[in-house]
Structure 1
Amino acid sequence: MKTLATDFLLKESPNAIAIVDTKLNFINYSNQWQSDFTPNKTDIIGKHLFDVISEMPILFNNAIKVGLTDKENINAGQKFILPSGKVQWLKWKISPIRNDINILEGLVIYLEDITADKRELELLQTAETVAKIGGWEVDLQKNSLYWTKTTKDIHEVPEDFIPDLAQGINFYKEGIHREKITELVSAAIEEGKPWDTELIIITAKGNEIWVRAKGEVEAVNDKPIRIIGTFQDIDERKKIELAHEEISERLKLATQTSQIGIWEYDLIANELIWDNAMYNIFGVDENQFAGVFEAWESTIHPDDKEKALKATNDAIIGVKDFDEEFRIKLQNGEVKYIKGLSKTIRDLKGKPIKMTGANWDITMLRSTELKLERSTESFTETFDNAAIGMALISPELKWLKVNKSLLTSLGYSEKELLGMRTTDITHPDDLESSTKTVFNGVKDTYQLQKRYFHKNGHIVYAIIGVTPVKDLDGNPSHAIAQFLDITDRIEGEKRLETLVEVTKSQNDSLLNFAHIVSHNLRSHSTNMTMLAKFLSQEEDEKELKNINRMITDAAESLSETIAHLNDVVQVKTGALKNLQSISVLNTIEQIKKSIGGLLEKQEAIIKIDIKNSHFVNAVPAYLESIFLNILTNALKYSSPDRTPLIEIKSQLKKETVLISFKDNGQGIDLKRHGDKIFGMYKTFHKHKDAKGIGLFITKNQIEAMGGSIKIESVVDQGTTIFIELNKI
């Protein structure tokens, strides 16, 4: 039987408690139960539990069933989402009630709604995670350290990691950061001082991050027993702050060193604020500056005032931001060029309220630009009207700009030349110097002699002076080239050298020629004298006729000798003035036609390997005579055992063209006759037409043109003659 005391204690209990029978009808309940779970029900005695509390989690219903089986059920606290979508945290204890004879009479239900507390805790944990703020606690009595989950996450350690104080301190970066936290912890333990600092830790994964660490001491009887605090990941914010500080410092340094003035103009109050650089730029004493728009306006040069004021007004009304160059006039009369930029700041309604911007002195820049402009004009005038060739050349060796003198020297139009590279018309032997020397950066200036091909094909000699020009990064941007055409001088030197060489050769030849003339004429003279003596003494008619015949033969032989000597004289003189550019291939083809009958008669084969581009500097008649003599000799002294084969080839050398004639004829024994091969009247085969004058004249003709000849020969295999003549 219930007592009044029991009813009173139950009713006034601060907890939500209800007593139900085995049918789950209410027997009694506390005021707190009614307040928490049945606020709209005034009398629930005798009513069924689930009629009064309609929306409860299934787990609670199951717990009631367990209680009716005479078993206690306890839930320490759990989050439920009810069918209506409501989120509720509940904790309960359901205990069976037995009578005196131990029979189940009902249940005592202890039910508590802990949603408010749990929601606050959940929000706190969420905030901790989002803000990356963890908690920690040091128990100084047990010398233990506790970290919350967020603190462990920041340190990048697993959830089961159990730190100690030494480990916690060792996470701080070695050096000033670890020394600082050690000092702060020591001061807290010894003096009870709290701390709030920002330091760097090295996480378990080796990452370096900034953290904010706060700590406070709890003491009993002035003795510290516990340190609690927070631990926040501020790495992103700190790095932004440090970057901002660095940028700010750089900007400050930049504005100071570059003399950039910063200003701000309050459009509402008509208040103009300048930094120190502005006063320096405008040459104004800070104490004398009125600090209003009109004060700035008064410094503008009269010729630029209208433009500057219009640009200011356009910036205020929103046409465009201020971006102008203008001049100012200082109190001492000095004029400066100023570059100005600004932004207009507007309120929420779009009304302009403030302008902020920068000015910097560009006087030196403008002065330099003016000097550069004048220098450019002067250079252009000099470039275009220079008596020597001039050009601008890119690092890719393209012609960028050329003057008239260069066009005249090379024979090209400006359009033609600008479409080429310098290497397109450079002599092949000079390509390496042109590509490696100019832009390799070894020297500031270069001078070299080069050869170019004129549009009509002849070689142009020039002395080139080259000065590379570099850009702001020190890389070559282009080169200025001066082109002194020395073709006439080189050709004159060559003619002089050839003349000297020919003169020396002629002197040597004339000495040899004098011996030949003396020998030949003396032989004829002796023969004629002897025949004349025979004639004067002979009386026999038959012998007289024979002597007369011999005198006639001797006279003819003397005439032939004089003719040969005259040919040699003609070769030795007058060759240089008749030199011309002659095609080797055309001359060979012409001679081939002229001896077509001989070639056909002997069924000879001629193989020609000569390029159309091979030209020599020669006397046309001499060249024809030389080729004709060599080819007819090859046929004259061919081997009777094989079909005559003549191979003619040519190849370019540095300054000459080498022409070779190879036959498969009888050959010459050079061991016996090598020193006499080009002698006059020297024959090496028994042939009725051999007179020993052909090779002698050929050699003299070749040398008269500044060339050379040599022979290689093997008996019964053939002969190869090499002729080297100057090319064009």
Structure 2
Amino acid sequence: MQTLSIDFIIRDSPTAVAVLDSNLCFIKHSAIWHRDFASDFDAIIGRYYYDILPDTPDFLRELYSNCLRGASNSNPGKKFVSVNGTVTWLSWKIKPWRDDDDTIKGLIIVLEDVTEIKRKEELLLTSQKVAKTGAWEVDLLSDRVYWTPITKEIHQVPESYEPTLETGINFYKKGLHRNTITRFVTDAMNDGTPWDAEFILVTARGNEVWVRAKGEVEIVDGRPTRLYGTFQDIDEKKKAELKFIETSERLAIATKGAKIGIWDYDFATRKLICDENMFKLYGVDESSCNDRYAELFSVLHPEDRESAYRAWKIAVSGLKEFDTEFRIVRPDGKIRHLKALGVVQMDAEGRALKITGTNWDITALKKTQMLLKNSEESFTGAFESSSIGMALVGLKGQWMKVNQSLCNSLGYEEKKLMQMTFQQITHKEDLEKDLHLLQELLDGKRDSYQIDKRYYHKSGKIVHVILSVTGVRKINGELSHFISQIMDISPRIIAEKELTRLVEVTSEQNESLLNFAHIVSHNLRSHSSNLSMLSGFLNTETDEGERTNLVEMLHDASESLSETVVHLNEVVQVKINVHDKMKPVNLYRTIKGVKKNLGLLLQEENAKLHIEIDKNLVVNGISAYLDSIFLNLITNSIKYSSSDRPPVITIGSQKTNGKIIISFSDNGLGIDLKRHGDKLFGMYKTFHRNSEAKGIGLFITKNQIEAMNGKIEVESTVDVGTTFKLYFETEHSKV
């Protein structure tokens, strides 16, 4: 009878109970067990536990084994995650059952699925943590104070911290907040008054945090026995709220000071709400304005109503924000320009619910813009039509805008010039000075500067300019860009050079006249005296042999006089009308021509002539002069060659600073420049005992080179050789 009663008790147990034998086979179980854990089986008595519950966690399997060895175990709830991701919470009590001999015969298992309860608890704890809400309690009978972990976290105290009512109150900021919470607690203890307020507390780490504290009172037999409530961290929300209030107050002050009107239109009620600034902007009396939408719309300038309405419709459709400008005609007849901005709020279907916006007066701005436009148009007109080059230049040297005069001066098309920087076309000798002054302008040491400088023309020639640079600054004082005025003075430089050349020619001609005077006073007088003396001897001589000899001497003196006259004529002709005869001449072909003409002489003297110049090398000069120069230098090299070695002549070239330098070197006798350097190019000056030397060749050569705006230099070592350096203009270096 007792066994039958036990069977009924287990079967009708309000919990899931199972009795297992030592092999973990079911002996007895409650109806709830069968329902909750074995509903897929008709009967489980005698069945193996793990056949019925194959997904039993390993942790429980180990517990069952331990309990069969005499242990007991219980747990109010443990979370398990199955292989398929299902989450289950189980609570259990496991005890071994014994026979009369105290031998373990099996297990009694009370198992409960508490998943729903635990899930709700977990969600509650999570929501409390996310909301940063903790709980607290004060037992007024024992003075015991309890804080939940989140409450301790808010106070920034360790989990082991044990507060008291006094220490809890002392966390509130001294002054208003501590006094207020003290009053609330006192009132609650005296008459049971609850509270819900916001405070600042100072945490254990010294941080000020806004919190919301709620308190309730539990009363037993007419007296408070317990205080309890919640404690929420609202620091971020409260500071944002205070910031919003502060910003709103500033906005209100700013909009009032800036006379910005704020409006709000509700599409459902068709009601327009405006602040006082709106009515002041429109000049409308707020008290007499019944239909504000119609009243404000009616004062729009007739020419702007359509565009303003179109902007409104586009904004309402959601295509773009409301952003427009229009004019209004105030009741006093004055026309004002207004700017309007608005943000539309839409519902889920994309229909406009409300639009909130601002208006402000931009009349002064419009007038300024008009003046600025007129000024810009004037500047643009002056910029484009200026006869001198003008440019807007960026802070890094890039062209921002150039006029046609500058393009004409530099030879570039506007598109090409805009792709370059001024540094790229500035003459390298002028760049450092220009950049130094520009840096002083950037550093604020000067506002502008003016210099003479040179640019490279697209063709390669030099363009001389007067450059004026002025810095343009923004409102805040920072440099924005530069305005450059570039006056092309190349024609003036050409004229100055021509004048200088004419002065030099005149000076040289004067020198030539002195030479003439010297020759006339010395050379021609010598010839004259010689001829006179020979004539006298001839008239008095009676011996026919002597007369014949005197006649031959008279003939030689006459030829010498003729040669002197020819030399003088050549000197005079060298610099007459030279500038008009100059043109581009291929230097390589000129030298090759001279070499061909002297081929027999070079061969007879076993001389080598090396021409090491570019076949396309072109200089600005006179072809006949160039022929004469190289003919004279080559014949001189052969004439004054060393008897110890065959003559070797080398002609090379290089370009530098817009000039072409021809080096003419030989391995001949050389010249003692210490003794003869100052008279090397003098007329009738010779430096070697050569019967064919006349002292006129180098004089003529120097005059011919200088007549072509060039110059000649010499380097020489006795018995080593001589090098002449001839400087010529390129065909692009006339300026």
Please say whether Structure 1 and Structure 2 have the same fold, judged by a TM-score greater than 0.5. Answer: yes
TM-score (ref. length: structure 1): 0.74
How far residue 360 of structure 1 moved from its aligned partner, in angstroms, is 2.5
Tell me which amino acid in the other structure corresponds to 1:299.
V
Q: Which residue of 2 aligns with 1:505?
A: 508
Supply the distance in 1 between the matched residues of 2:607 and 2:4 (Cα, whole angstroms). Answer: 141
2:605 matched to 1:602? yes
Which residue pairs with 1:672 in the alignment? 675
**Whole-Å separation in 2 of the counterparts to 1:595 and 1:529:** 40
Contact 1:171 1:201 survives alignment (8 Å): no
Residue 546 of structure 2 corresponds to 543
TM-superposed deviation, 1:624: 2.9
Question: Is 1:622 the counterpart of 2:622 in the alignment?
Answer: no
* 1:469-618 superposed matches below 5 A: 469=472, 479-571=482-574, 573-576=576-579, 578-611=581-614, 616-618=619-621
Aligned to 2:362: 362
Where structure 2 has 5 or more consecutive residues not aligned to the other structure, the ranges are: 17-26, 38-48, 50-58, 103-107, 189-194
| 539-548 or 226-235, larger mean C-alpha shift | 226-235
The secondary structure found in structure 2 opposite 1:723 is: strand
**2:634 match:** 631
The Cα offsets for residues 95-153 of structure 1, whole Å up to 9 and x where unpaired, read as 99x9xxx99xxxxx9x9999899898766544433322234578999999865333455
**Counterpart Cα distance in 2 of 1:475 and 1:192:** 65
More off after superposition, 306-315 vs 115-124: 115-124
Partner of 2:19: none
Residues 525-575 of structure 1, C-alpha deviations (whole Å, 9 max, x = no match): 232233233223322111111111111111111111122122222235544
Partner of 1:714: 717
**Secondary structure of the corresponding residue to residue 658 of structure 1:** strand
Paired-residue identity, %: 44
1:197 maps to which residue? 199
Change (3 A) 1:597 1:498: same
Distance 1:420 1:36 in 2: 94
- Amino acid in structure 1 at the alignment position of 2:500: E
Equivalent-residue separation in structure 2 for 1:650 and 1:68 (angstroms): 112
Shift of 1:604: 3.1
Gaps of 5+ in 1: 1-19, 39-47, 104-108
From the superposition, tell whether residues 184 and 657 of structure 1 become closer, same or farther in structure 2 (CA, over 3 Å).
Answer: farther
**Residues 464 and 357 (structure 1 numbering): CA distance in 2 closer, same or farther, change over 3 Å?**
same
The secondary structure found in structure 2 opposite 1:630 is helix
Query: Does structure 1 conserve the Cα–Cα contact (< 8 Å) formed by 2:594 and 2:627?
Result: yes
Residues 245-268 of structure 1: CA distance to partner in whole angstroms, max 9, x if unpaired? 566466556645654321013445
Q: 1:68 to 1:270 in 2, by over 3 A?
A: closer
Number of the residue aligned with 1:212: 211
The yes-or-no answer on 1:237 pairing with 2:237 is: yes
Residues 427 and 453, structure 1, Cα contact 8 Å, conserved in 2: yes
User: Aligned equivalents of 2:167 and 2:703: distance in 1?
Assistant: 107
1:198 counterpart letter in structure 2 = I
Q: Secondary structure at the match of 1:659?
A: strand
> Contact (CA 8 Å) 1:502, 1:706: kept in 2 or not?
no
Aligned pairs for 1:111-130 within 5 A: 125-130=125-130
Aligned to 2:263: 263
Cα pair 1:77 1:92 within 8 Å, conserved: no
Name the counterpart of 2:326: 326
Check 1:456–1:673 CA distance in 2 against 1; reply closer, same or farther (3 A cut). closer
In the alignment, residue 25 of structure 1 is paired with which amino acid? I
Aligned twin of 2:277:
277
Q: Work out whether residues 169 and 181 of structure 2, in 8 Å CA contact, stay in contact via their aligned partners in 1.
A: no
User: What is the match of residue 687 of structure 1?
Assistant: 690
Question: What is the identity, as a one-letter code, of the residue corresponding to 2:591?
Answer: I
Give, as a single letter, the amino acid of the residue that structure 2 aligns with 1:642.
R
Asked if 1:293 is matched to 2:274, the reply is: no
Instruction: State the TM-score, normalized to the length of structure 2.
Output: 0.73
The structural deviation recorded for 1:329 is 1.0
3-state SS of paired residue (1:687): coil
Residues in 1 aligned to 2:354 and 2:596: alpha-carbon distance in whole angstroms: 100
Distance 1:80 1:469 in 2: 74
RMSD over aligned Cα atoms = 5.6
Deviation at 1:687, TM superposition (A): 2.7
Partner residue of 1:702?
705
Asked if 1:663 corresponds to 2:657, the answer is: no
Bigger Cα displacement from structure 2, 183-192 vs 350-359 = 183-192
The answer to whether the aligner puts 1:642 opposite 2:645 as a matched pair is yes
In 1: Cα distance, 2:723 partner to 2:67 partner? 130
Query: Displacement, 1:417?
Result: 4.8
Task: Return the letter of the residue paired with 1:622.
Answer: Y
Instruction: Note the C-alpha offset of 1:489.
Output: 0.9
Contact persistence 1:137–1:147 (CA under 8 A):
yes
Residues 57-89 of structure 1, C-alpha deviation per residue, up to 9 Å, x if partnerless?
A: 9999x99xx9999x99896955799x9999786
> 2:264 is aligned with what amino acid?
E
Q: Which amino acid aligns with 1:595?
A: L
